Every structure is written in C-alpha cells, then in structure tokens.
Amino acid sequence: MQSISPDFLSKYSIRVIGDYDKLNSFEKYYLNDRLYGFLEQSADRCSEGVLTADIRLKKGVHNRGVYRGVPLVYIKLRISSDRCKFAVSKENWGLQAALHDSLSLMTKKIRNAGKQQNNKRTVPIENFDMKDVSLEI
C-alpha cells in the first residue's frame, strides 16, 4: 500500500460495511489501496470527511451470482465532507471491476460539481438594486 502521511489520516475516515468479511485478503488489500488513493487524489476538493463503502455480494439470477468464478458485486460509495456530499452505486462482476466503475463515476461527479461551481454566474453587489426587492410583512 502507498505511504500515507499521519496528517492525511487525521482528516479522513474510511468505513467499509457490508460483506467485507467475505472478501479474501488480496481483495481487502486492493480495496483499501484504491480507496486511500482516491482520497489522496480528491483531497483538494473535499477537505475533511468520511468515505463509506457499502459492499454487497449479490445473489443474482444468472448462475446464482457467480459468472466464471467471479461474484456479482454491488458497491455504493458515499463521501461526505464539509465541502461536498456525493453518492454513487455500481455493480459488476468482481470487486475490481465494480470498484473501478464506482470510483471513476465518483471522480466524474466531483469534477463536474467543481466545473458547475466555477461556472455559476453571480450578480455583483454594486449592481444589486433594493428597489427590485419587495418586502411584505
């Protein structure tokens, strides 16, 4: 896993719920590595917060939830901080594919929110006229 500074760990909290205990050690290592890497990349957009990963191994109709030995995995990611709140959910065959899809979707949501925030047009205060506002008491 990557070396992570203690200052970074004090700002973020990662919670993994669901079927985490059913994963093997390689999948747990991969999951932790990718989640910490994602938080380090998005640290400038979301300052402090909690990343919650809900992992479910689904029992699908197709081959009882297993396709070529790989289970159907549903992942719901929620990140909440003082600056942003986002939630995404994806499912795919295998933990790596499902995690990749959900993290890429979360990255797109965070980037689009930053673009929308930069593109908002605001009315300068010097152009604001109090005659336009009617107060009824």
Task: Give a yes or no: residue 120 inside a domain.
Answer: no
Task: Give a yes or no: residue 60 inside a domain.
Answer: yes
pLDDT (tens digit, 9 = 90+) per residue, 101-114? 999 999 888 888 76
Other residues' Cβ atoms within 10 Å of the Cβ of residue 108: 11
Q: How many domains does the chain have?
A: 1
User: Checking DSSP bridges between strand 12-18 and strand 49-58, what pairing results, if any?
Assistant: parallel
Is residue 25 pLDDT above 80, yes or no? yes
Of residues 77 and 132, more confidence is placed in 77
Task: Give a yes or no: residue 121 inside a domain.
Answer: no
Tell me how far apart the alpha carbons of residues 69 and 16 are, in angstroms, rounded to a whole number.
Answer: 24
User: In 3D, which of 45, 48, 43, 37 has the Cα closest to residue 99?
Assistant: 37
Residue bearing tokens 């925030």: 117
In which band, very low, low, confident or very high, does the pLDDT at 129 lie, cut at 50, 70 and 90? low
Write down the mean pLDDT value for the chain.
77
Model pTM greater than 0.85? no
CA angle 51-57-62, nearest 5°? Answer: 140
Task: Give a yes or no: residue 80 inside a domain.
Answer: yes
CATH code of the domain covering residue 61: 3.30.160.100
Task: Give a yes or no: residue 126 inside a domain.
Answer: no
> Domain range for residue 55?
6-111
In which band, very low, low, confident or very high, does the pLDDT at 120 lie, cut at 50, 70 and 90? low
Of residues 95 and 124, more confidence is placed in 95
**Tell me, what's the pLDDT at 101?**
94
Q: What residues does 78 pair with on adjacent strands?
A: 52, 87
Of residues 96 and 40, more confidence is placed in 96
pLDDT (tens digit, 9 = 90+) per residue, 48-92? 788 889 999 887 655 566 667 788 889 999 988 777 788 999 988
